[in-house]
Amino acid sequence: MEKFERLDKIISTQTSYSRKDIKKLCRSGDIYVNGQVCRNSDAKVDPQNTEIIVCGEKIEYKRYVYYMMNKPKGVLSASNDKNAPTVIDLVPENLYRKNLFPAGRLDKDTTGLLIITDDGDFAHRMLSPNKKVYKHYIATVDKELDESVKSEFENGIVLSDGTVCQKAFFEKIGPCVARVQICEGKFHQVKKMFSACSYIVEELRRVQIGSLKLDENLQEGQTRELTENEKLLIFDTKND
């Protein structure tokens, strides 16, 4: 990877400024590089070792960011939508930057742990069924669960359209409540799996990805940055 990058590219990836905005700010003397006014938006600098100040704010360069969100109901797991609020709309201004997207989707009425990032390779590794990163859900259904559901889930549910799901882990934790672990992410998969067993999912919440658990102190709709250790926990594939 080239060590030096264009100044406007660096700033645009770290902030909400467009390249057009950055060019104007350079012309007006509002961008400083290593203590000197920089009027050339296409100047090449080393983002790791250069102090960049834009309108009095120091740019803390990070190639990628990784956030944990406690997703609320009624919000789409999408980067943008003309007709409904999205999870990216909920990201606080101080954490927002271009190219953020949800790594995997939770249904509009599903709540809980969602990872938001701008690192496509990271998201792919987390979501690929081959990596066996299990996503843990708490599901509440419309009637008491029969013990036979466990074996059906673990043998691989066949959906109504003939799709065969990979083995899923199932634990009954209440009369109508179960903990389910899947390593796939098919559209409405958990709901469709229960539907194949003649149950309707009334509430669904994701509580864990890999070994990373949803922060209990994170209120619905809130977002915070992952620690380095938490990023590693996602790829810790033991099931607990």
Give every CB contact of residue 77 below 8 A, 6+ residues apart in sequence.
71, 86, 87, 102, 104, 105, 106, 107, 108, 114
pLDDT tens-digit map of 55-100: 999 998 999 999 999 999 999 999 998 889 999 999 998 899 888 9
* pLDDT one-digit tens code per residue, 135-157: 999 999 999 999 999 999 999 99
DSSP per-residue codes, 76-143: BSSS--SSS-BGGGGS-TTT--TT-EESS---TT-EEEEEEES-HHHHHHHH-GGGT-PEEEEEEESS
Catalytic residue among 107, 109, 121, 161: 107
CB-count exposure of residue 113 (10 Å: 0-12, 13-18, 19+): buried
Is 119 assigned a catalytic role? no
| Domains of the chain, first to last | 5-58 (3.10.290.10), 66-128+212-234 (3.30.70.580), 134-209 (3.30.70.1560)
* Tokens read off for 154: 């673990």
